[in-house]
Amino acid sequence: MCKAILKNQIIEWLRNQPYWLQFSGNQILEGQVIDENLLSNTLTFFKEENGLKPAENEQTPIVFNEIETSVSSTTNDIELQAVKDIENVNALISGQEIEINKNLTVIYGNNGTGKSGYIRLLNNAFYNSRGDKNILGNVFNETESGQPTCKFVFKSNGGTLDKFFPADKNCFEFSQYSVFDTQSVKIHLDNDNQLNFTPSGFDFFEKILQLFEELKSNINTEINSLKKTNPFLIHFQNDNEIKKAVESFNSQTDIEKLKAYANFSEEDAEKLEGIKKKIAELKALNIQEKISAFEKLQRELSDFIQKQQNIINFLTQEKIDYYYGLLDNFYKTQTLVNAEGIKSFEKYNIDLVGSQPWRDFVIAARNYKIQIENKKGDGNNYPVEGDRCLFCLQPISGNEKSLIDTYWKLLQSQAETELNKIKQDIANAIRELKNLPTVVFNDTTNLFGFLKQYHPDQTEKWQKIVTDSENSKNNLIQNLEKLNKELLVTVFTVNTSELNPISQKLNESIDELFKKKPDQEIATLTFQQNYLTDKSLLSKLLSQIIEYVLTCKWISKAENSLGAFRTNSLTTLQGSLFNQHITDKYTSTFETECDFLKAPKFIEIKQRNDRLKTLRKLSIANKKASLILSEGEQRAISLADFLTEVQLNPQNKGVVFDDPVTSLDHQRRALIAERLVKLAETKQVIIFTHDLLFVNYLKNLSELMIDIQCHWIEKINDKTGIVSNNNSPATEGDYKSLKNADDAWKAARKETSPTEREKLLRTGFSSLRTNYEYLIIFDLFQAVVLRFDERVSVERLKDVVVLPDFTKKLIAKVGHLSRYIEAHLHSDTFVSNKPEPDDLKREMDEFNELKKELKELRNEIKAGAQS
């Protein structure tokens, strides 16, 4: 990838950008980090160009450093040597170590031996990976808990370097390795994927985006610090043009018009004082109070005239004659009643007969007897023979009945009826007179004071009339109550209508005052006063107001300037350059990988740009590839995509594969094995697999091309993830002799560290176990069936012999050997009896004896067969 060409194209784009972006972009191109100094300078230039700050100095032309020749990207010289000290990862046993070859490392293990745990750990540590990162603790042992940890040993510039996960999880070394597992297959097929590395030179766009965000944040912070509610509204509460102007302070406010409003001259000041004086004079007239006083007098006079006229109306000659006529009729009718009825009662010798109490008694008795008759409802009138007296309850005889009938006749007479009517009329007259209101007309009333001042003669006259009329009214009431004419009652011929001119005069005075009422004039003057007062206040606050308005204008301009940080043009440029420098090469590399792996050729790479990121997606006729391809095709295509990305990443040093040939036939397995061995020439390749045939392909292809190490992961006695370095079924051809076990024994004898000695002995015992496996396959069964050979060697069956006793001894020996391996794992049984170098030497000698015994037995059988 040509960094120089990319840089020159970015420079060409920058030359057409604003000065602030030319400045910062050039700095970033030359390796300047985005620090406070760069941000400050860029922000200054940005503000000057957008009118947010006055220009202080002339802009120095930007000198771009174009590259004439291309420069290749370089990476650190680093190599992974080991993954060790693994703790708290799934159910993996602690303390394991995996040696990593400089070219190809193969870790073989059956299902359930712990490969997935190691892959999940590596997915988390190598953070650019897209695979399964779900690390669990040991779900079968609740006492084991803690954070997953691991140490990675790197070789760098001739020395070793330890990096720890998760303590160093963001270190650069962890970005140089990637993992491909089953979960990665679906992600590569179905997702919009961005390159998991930043292509050399394209980090410019990420840094520019960071710069934009920082600048935008700084400007927004400044905007928010300046924004505040209009502080001047509270000072202008009068409805006028000035208040409207204050209410609408914003970025569009015309400052010159504002200054005109605030031009408060000496003439304005004099005018304001004159208006204040005029308002004070108008208010001093107290016209409204006078109107209120006259209106109150008018109401009192109207009330006086009405009440007093009512009293006078009852004291006219006609009215008095009527009242006295009632008294005269009363006496005449009473005399007639007495003459008609009293004589009939003389024979009964009744006390006070004919008197009023006697009459009242008779009337009450009659009303009582009517109630009794109504209750009985039998139609009989009281009294009849046999009735009882209403008071003494004695039986009524003829004489008593006659007396009671006489009572009733008296009450039913015409004279008696007339008398009762006259009494009712007198009672009504008394009630009417008493209901007349009392008129108060003296020094305690406002009306009296007013009339006394302005109409003294009238006041004196009517004061006497009020007093005399009240006395006459009271005398008349008493005469009627006592049924006599003893008290003097005066006849009044005067009429209150003579007071109407005074009432008319009051109305005229009120009308005259209303004509002089200054409310409208005061309101007009007050509006002018308020306007001039606000104008004066505006002139005093003008400097503060202009500062506020200028701030509003700055905020608006700053908010509009934020559009400069839109990334549309940057995204377009990045996408265009990405196509030129990455996409074409990506497509050709991808197609090459598909050709080699015999993957489908109709896969399309769809690319889109999103916020300075270029995303790719694999599709078939605009459909997800996973919906159309077979499982094997899906794995081949996703593997091709992964290999393409890895090759384009100049920083990538190694890749890890988890069963890359799952679901693939043997032909494609061989192709993938060949491709990964080829990849191991330039990168460290680490492969976890349970496929022995695939392991054999890798081993055979590597023998003449690269270094290879094969390790074995096993599960022994419920201990998962046990790693045997440099030992696996695929390396059994190296175990014709005891060389590996012998080397381990010799090294263990010299080792002084107990830990290292145990490790060497474990390697030795593991190697010896593989020697036994070789013995079984090639010596006992004469290679009739080999692990990685597709054919069975039938012709070799003639050399196979059945040796039951020897077989039992062989099984027992291998089982005994496993106990020594378990002792290295600190099993409960052998924790206090750790193997020593002598134990390994003894087991090696016994292996040689068994091998010799098998040879002798085979010779004996062969000799017997020939004889």
Residues 480-495, mean pLDDT to the nearest whole number: 90
Is the pLDDT confidence value at 784 over 60?
Answer: yes
Question: Which tokens in the block code for residue 132?
Answer: 């399964």
Predicted local confidence at residue 271, as pLDDT: 92
Is the pLDDT confidence value at 142 over 60?
Answer: no
Predicted local confidence at residue 289, as pLDDT: 77
Cα–Cα distance, 446 to 454 (Å, whole number): 12
Predicted local confidence at residue 222, as pLDDT: 92
Please, what sign has the CA dihedral across residues 687, 690, 694, 698?
positive
In three state form, how does the secondary structure of 347-364 look?
HHCCCCCCCHHHHHHHHH
Q: Mean pLDDT of all residues in the chain? A: 82
Question: Which tokens in the block code for residue 266?
Answer: 């000496």
pLDDT band at 1 (very low <50, low <70, confident <90, very high): very low
Q: pTM for the full model? A: 0.53
Residues 70-96, mean pLDDT to the nearest whole number: 78
pLDDT band at 4 (very low <50, low <70, confident <90, very high): very low
Cα–Cα distance, 758 to 820 (Å, whole number): 11
Percent of the chain with pLDDT over 90: 27
pLDDT band at 657 (very low <50, low <70, confident <90, very high): very high
Residues 13-41, mean pLDDT to the nearest whole number: 91
pLDDT, greater one: 660 or 522: 660
Domains of the chain (ranges plus CATH)?
1-72+198-227 (no CATH), 89-195+571-595+620-716 (3.40.50.300), 233-283+519-561 (no CATH), 323-504 (no CATH), 745-866 (no CATH)
Classify residue 846 by burial, with Cβ atoms within 10 Å: 0-12, 13-18, 19+.
middle
Predicted local confidence at residue 71, as pLDDT: 44
Cα–Cα distance, 822 to 829 (Å, whole number): 9
Closest by Cα among 579, 42, 492 to 311: 492
Predicted local confidence at residue 816, as pLDDT: 78
Percent of the chain with pLDDT over 70: 85
Residues 218-232, mean pLDDT to the nearest whole number: 93
Least confident of 548-557, 622-631, 668-677: 622-631
Closest by Cα among 737, 836, 814 to 779: 737
Residues 33-42, mean pLDDT to the nearest whole number: 92
pLDDT, greater one: 783 or 672: 672
Cα–Cα distance, 104 to 106 (Å, whole number): 7
Predicted local confidence at residue 554, as pLDDT: 95
- Angle at 372 (CA atoms; ends 399, 355), nearest 5 degrees: 55
Classify residue 123 by burial, with Cβ atoms within 10 Å: 0-12, 13-18, 19+.
buried
Tens digits of per-residue pLDDT, 306-337? Answer: 998 999 999 999 999 999 898 888 887 777 66
CA 263 to chain centre: 50
Q: Please, are residues 413 and 335 in contact by the beta-carbon 8 Å criterion?
A: no
Least confident of 40-49, 81-90, 192-201, 842-851: 192-201
Question: Which tokens in the block code for residue 273?
Answer: 């004082």
Is the pLDDT confidence value at 42 over 60?
Answer: yes
Is the pLDDT confidence value at 366 over 80?
Answer: no
Residues 241-267, mean pLDDT to the nearest whole number: 90
Question: Which tokens in the block code for residue 336?
Answer: 């007639």
**Helices 456-482 and 287-313, packing angle to 10 deg:** 40
Tell me the β-bridge partners of 610: 613
- Angle at 297 (CA atoms; ends 294, 298), nearest 5 degrees: 85
pLDDT, greater one: 236 or 693: 236
Predicted local confidence at residue 602, as pLDDT: 62
C-alpha distances (whole Å) from 313 to each of 300, 306, 460, 474, 495 are 20, 11, 21, 15, 9
Is the pLDDT confidence value at 214 over 90?
Answer: yes
pLDDT, greater one: 165 or 740: 165
Q: Please, are residues 461 and 451 in contact by the beta-carbon 8 Å criterion?
A: no
Note the helical H segments in 516-630: 519-561, 568-578, 584-597
Q: Please, are residues 551 and 222 in contact by the beta-carbon 8 Å criterion?
A: no
Report cis status (omega within 30 of 0) of the bond before 231.
Answer: no
The residue type at 799: D
pLDDT band at 138 (very low <50, low <70, confident <90, very high): low
Cα–Cα distance, 807 to 222 (Å, whole number): 87
Tens digits of per-residue pLDDT, 684-708? Answer: 999 999 888 888 888 888 877 899 9
Grouping H, G, I as helix, E, B as strand and the rest as coil, residue 31 is coil
Helix or strand holding residue 666 (H, E)? helix 666-679
Cα–Cα distance, 9 to 202 (Å, whole number): 12
Report cis status (omega within 30 of 0) of the bond before 199.
Answer: no
Q: First CA to last CA across the chain, in angstroms? A: 77
Least confident of 136-150, 478-492, 824-838: 824-838
Closest by Cα among 650, 574, 583 to 613: 574
Out of 327-331, 432-436, 584-588, 695-699, the most confident range is: 432-436
Is the pLDDT confidence value at 74 over 50?
Answer: no
Is the pLDDT confidence value at 581 over 90?
Answer: no
Predicted local confidence at residue 152, as pLDDT: 95
Is the pLDDT confidence value at 790 over 60?
Answer: no
C-alpha distances (whole Å) from 356 to each of 155, 390, 609 are 146, 21, 125
Report cis status (omega within 30 of 0) of the bond before 383.
Answer: yes
**Helices 456-482 and 414-435, packing angle to 10 deg:** 150
Is the pLDDT confidence value at 809 over 70?
Answer: yes
pLDDT band at 198 (very low <50, low <70, confident <90, very high): low
Predicted local confidence at residue 688, as pLDDT: 92
User: DSSP secondary-structure letter at 254?
Assistant: -
Sheet with 159-165, strands from edge to edge, namely 97-99, 78-87, 149-156, 159-165
Residue partners of 227: CB distance under 8 A and separation at least 6? 555
Residues 678-683, mean pLDDT to the nearest whole number: 93
Q: Please, are residues 506 and 302 in contact by the beta-carbon 8 Å criterion?
A: no
Binning the chain into helix, strand and coil, the percentages to the nearest 5 are 60, 10, 30
Grouping H, G, I as helix, E, B as strand and the rest as coil, residue 107 is strand
Closest by Cα among 411, 415, 362, 421 to 391: 362
Least confident of 168-172, 583-587, 595-599, 676-680: 583-587
Is the pLDDT confidence value at 859 over 90?
Answer: no
Predicted local confidence at residue 612, as pLDDT: 60
Is the pLDDT confidence value at 140 over 60?
Answer: no
Q: Please, are residues 606 and 616 in contact by the beta-carbon 8 Å criterion?
A: yes
Predicted local confidence at residue 2, as pLDDT: 44
Residues 821-830, mean pLDDT to the nearest whole number: 50
Q: Please, are residues 587 and 610 in contact by the beta-carbon 8 Å criterion?
A: no
Predicted local confidence at residue 154, as pLDDT: 93
pLDDT band at 409 (very low <50, low <70, confident <90, very high): low
